[in-house]
């Protein structure tokens, strides 16, 4: 029932029975609908099984982060020790260097990786030569499908102190040999730039797909108004993919403490431990090599909580600045 309130407002009042009912499916209708589209639902079985087995079931064993875990006693039989494992990690001399290195690599890859992928996608989208576009796309995507073991061999061929290409050039120019892979001042640049080279082309696929979804009529109208290509990119292209850029950035921020275990594990060595050791590599040595499963699990749980906090904060900031977010 409608009733006029103060200030000319109209209020809706009445009993629950008077309100319009939103139509919905009954349980038999839901089953019938699911059976009708069973092929589409079947596609989700394997991803669902993956997340259940790999992501959610192991959370049960995360309780050993709060226990003095012993393989002989098992998860249930191991005694509780509260936050002692977290405290041991926070008070260790490794904590701040590990956190510094992890954030350094993660932020550098995030700050450089997304703009580079956007620029590559814009270049591919704007080029009018299809043959050149296909060649560049193939060359840009290829490194993503190579493992870090293979890329490590390529990097050794470039930066090795004995037979690396750059040192061959140095010797030919009369410059002394430089141990690039073992130099703490150079190693972080090799890590960031090699990751950029490996993942830039693959990341550009998402932005290229977003560019393809922009209405071509907008560009035609801009051309009629006399807008240059740069102005079209600034006022049409970039705003058109802004929401996609925000979503990708938020997803990357959610894994801010994943600085690239496989890459660092393959590339780093003893001379660059101070700048190459990250949380994941330390957890590997602590949990697998030293069999300290409780502390390793506590650090992994700490990583997840920090990532969740960064994701929530970044999502609120993105919604305030860009007007869009993950939720």
End-to-end CA distance of the chain: 34
Q: Is the pLDDT of residue 198 over 70?
A: yes
In a domain, 127, yes or no: yes
Q: Which residue reads 């490194």 in tokens?
A: 143
In a domain, 108, yes or no: yes
Give the count of domains, the chain.
Answer: 1
Mean pLDDT rounded to a whole number for the chain: 84
pLDDT tens digits for range 68-85: 888 888 888 889 988 888
pLDDT at site 115: 92
CB atoms inside a 10 Å sphere around CB 245? 20
CB atoms inside a 10 Å sphere around CB 81? 15
In a domain, 38, yes or no: no
pLDDT at site 21: 52
pLDDT at site 49: 92
In a domain, 176, yes or no: yes
In a domain, 128, yes or no: yes
Q: Is the pLDDT of residue 2 over 70?
A: no
Whole-structure pTM value: 0.78
What is the percentage of the chain residues whose pLDDT exceeds 70? 90
Alpha carbons 110 and 140: distance in angstroms, whole number: 18
Q: pLDDT band at residue 155, thresholds of 50, 70 and 90?
A: very high
Alpha carbons 239 and 216: distance in angstroms, whole number: 14
Alpha carbons 278 and 265: distance in angstroms, whole number: 9
Q: pLDDT band at residue 193, thresholds of 50, 70 and 90?
A: very high
Q: Is residue 240 a contact partner of residue 294, using CB atoms and an 8 Å limit?
A: no
User: Helix count (H) and strand count (E) of the chain?
Assistant: 18, 2
Q: Is residue 268 a contact partner of residue 102, using CB atoms and an 8 Å limit?
A: no
- Domain of 213 in residue numbering reads as 94-321
In a domain, 30, yes or no: no
In a domain, 99, yes or no: yes
In a domain, 66, yes or no: no
Alpha carbons 124 and 204: distance in angstroms, whole number: 9
pLDDT at site 12: 47
pLDDT at site 235: 87
The CATH number assigned to the domain holding 188 equals 1.10.3720.10
Alpha carbons 31 and 23: distance in angstroms, whole number: 17
pLDDT tens digits for range 122-152: 988 888 788 888 888 888 888 999 999 999 9
pLDDT tens digits for range 264-303: 999 988 889 899 899 889 888 888 888 888 888 898 888 8
Q: Is the pLDDT of residue 4 over 60?
A: no
């Amino acid at each position: 029932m409608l009733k006029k309130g103060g200030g000319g407002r109209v209020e809706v009042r009445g009993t629950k029975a008077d309100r319009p009912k939103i139509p919905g499916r009954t349980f038999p209708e839901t089953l019938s609908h699911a059976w009708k589209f069973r092929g589409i639902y079947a596609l989700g079985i394997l991803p669902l099984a993956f997340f259940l087995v790999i992501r959610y079931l192991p959370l049960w064993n995360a309780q050993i982060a709060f226990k003095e875990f012993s393989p002989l006693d098992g998860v249930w039989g191991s005694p509780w020790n509260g936050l002692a494992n977290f405290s041991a990690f926070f008070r260790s001399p490794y904590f701040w260097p590990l956190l510094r290195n992890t954030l350094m690599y993660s932020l550098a890859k995030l700050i450089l990786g997304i703009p580079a992928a956007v620029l590559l996608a814009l270049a591919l989208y704007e080029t009018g030569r299809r043959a050149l576009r296909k060649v560049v796309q193939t060359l840009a995507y290829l490194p993503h499908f190579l493992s870090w073991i293979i890329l490590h061999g390529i990097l050794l061929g470039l930066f090795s102190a004995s037979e690396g290409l750059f040192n061959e050039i140095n010797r030919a120019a009369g410059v002394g040999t430089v141990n690039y892979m073992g130099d703490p001042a150079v190693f972080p640049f090799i890590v960031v730039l090699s990751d950029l080279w490996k993942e830039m082309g693959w990341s550009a696929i998402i932005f290229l797909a977003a560019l393809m979804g922009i209405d071509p009529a907008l560009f035609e109208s801009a051309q009629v108004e006399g807008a240059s290509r740069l102005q079209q990119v600034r006022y049409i292209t970039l705003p058109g993919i802004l929401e996609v850029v925000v979503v990708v950035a938020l997803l990357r921020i959610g894994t801010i403490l994943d600085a690239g275990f496989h890459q660092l594990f393959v590339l780093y060595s003893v001379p660059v431990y101070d700048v190459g050791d990250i949380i994941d590599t330390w957890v590997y040595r602590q949990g697998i090599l030293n069999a300290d499963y409780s502390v390793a699990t506590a650090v992994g749980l700490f990583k997840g909580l920090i990532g969740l906090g960064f994701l929530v904060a970044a999502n609120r900031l993105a919604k305030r600045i860009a007007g869009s977010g993950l939720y």
